[in-house]
Chain A
Amino acid sequence: ETVMTQSPATLSVSPGERATLSCRASQSVSSNLAWYQQKPGQAPRLLIYGASTRATGIPARFSGSGSGTDFTLTISSLQSEDFAVYYCQQYNDWPPETFGQGTKLQIK
């Protein structure tokens, strides 16, 4: 099973600033990685797939990068609606598909 590790667990950033979230896989997942945003009481929403492709309707301030074992989600110029929990997921080596434990992005 491929273990996904996200860091940091909590990230405090001011509105308008840039946020950088990390995700590391225990073995190469190529580019088969997705990022999700989850707000309280809601289902997760797909942001990025294929490590760097934005899903339909996702603003350009969200960008993903990386391949192999190290990945980054960058949110430039944070908006108030961006404060949420973010998960990475690998779908290269499955079953099972595996998620990271999440990074909570909170207002500084």
Chain B
Amino acid sequence: QLQLQESGPGLVKPSETLPLTCTVSGGSISTSGYYWGWIRQPPGKGLEWIGSIYYSGNTYYNPSLKSRITISVDTSKNQFSLKLSSVTAADTAVYYCARRQAGVGVDPWGQGTLVTVSS
């Protein structure tokens, strides 16, 4: 059974870079037809798609965040990562990593990790 697990700091200072890693277990990140992505949810609010990456390295970013995000993949470790720069309080959210299959929805999701931006 495929599982995803986010890891990273729970607290980041304003203007710094938020780094998160998603470790995939129970399956290979290099399987064709799957995109590996990040979605966030501010406390009490809805879902926002951040971006995704194909195992080949092709990336797809939300234009609203594009100037601040970098998503990368490490197939040797079966991991993919997110870096969000110049964070502000508005970036405080639960960050989920997830898999999406072409033509299908997002499944499965990681359990999510709360990242708070505060000094």
Chain A residues within 8 Å of B, Cβ to Cβ = 1, 32, 34-36, 43-46, 48-50, 55, 87, 89, 91, 94-102
Q: Which residue of A lies closest to B59 (CB)?
A: A95
Question: Does any Cβ of A come within 8 Å of B46's Cβ?
Answer: yes
Contact call B46/A99, Cβ cutoff below 8 A: yes
Binds A, one of B16-24, B72-80, B83-91, B101-109: B101-109
Contact residues, B33-87 vs A (CB, 8 A) = 46-49, 51-52, 60-64
Find out whether the CB atom of B51 lies under 8 angstroms from the CB atom of A95: yes
Do B60 and A46 touch across chains, with their CB atoms under 8 A apart? no
- Verify A95–B110 contact, CB threshold 8 A: no
Nearest chain B CB to A53 CB, angstrom units: 8
The reply to whether A91 and B105 form a contact with Cβ atoms under 8 Å apart is yes
Q: Which residues of B are at the interface with A, using a C-beta cutoff of 8 A?
A: 46-49, 51-52, 60-64, 96, 98, 100, 103-112
Whole-angstrom distance from the CB of B32 to the nearest CB of chain A?
17
Is the Cβ of B46 less than 8 Å from the Cβ of A101?
yes
Closest to B61 in A: A95
A98 near B49 with CB under 8 A, answer yes
| A96 x B64 contact (CB < 8 A) | yes
Q: Is the CB of B111 within 8 A of A43?
A: yes
26 residue pairs from A and B, CB less than 8 Å apart: A32-B103, A34-B104, A36-B105, A43-B96, A43-B111, A44-B96, A45-B107, A46-B106, A46-B107, A46-B108, A48-B105, A49-B103, A50-B104, A55-B107, A89-B106, A91-B105, A95-B51, A95-B61, A96-B61, A96-B64, A97-B49, A97-B100, A100-B46, A101-B46, A102-B46, A102-B47
Q: Is the CB of B100 within 8 A of A91?
A: yes
Which of B51, B62, B109 has a CB less than 8 Å from the CB of A43? B109
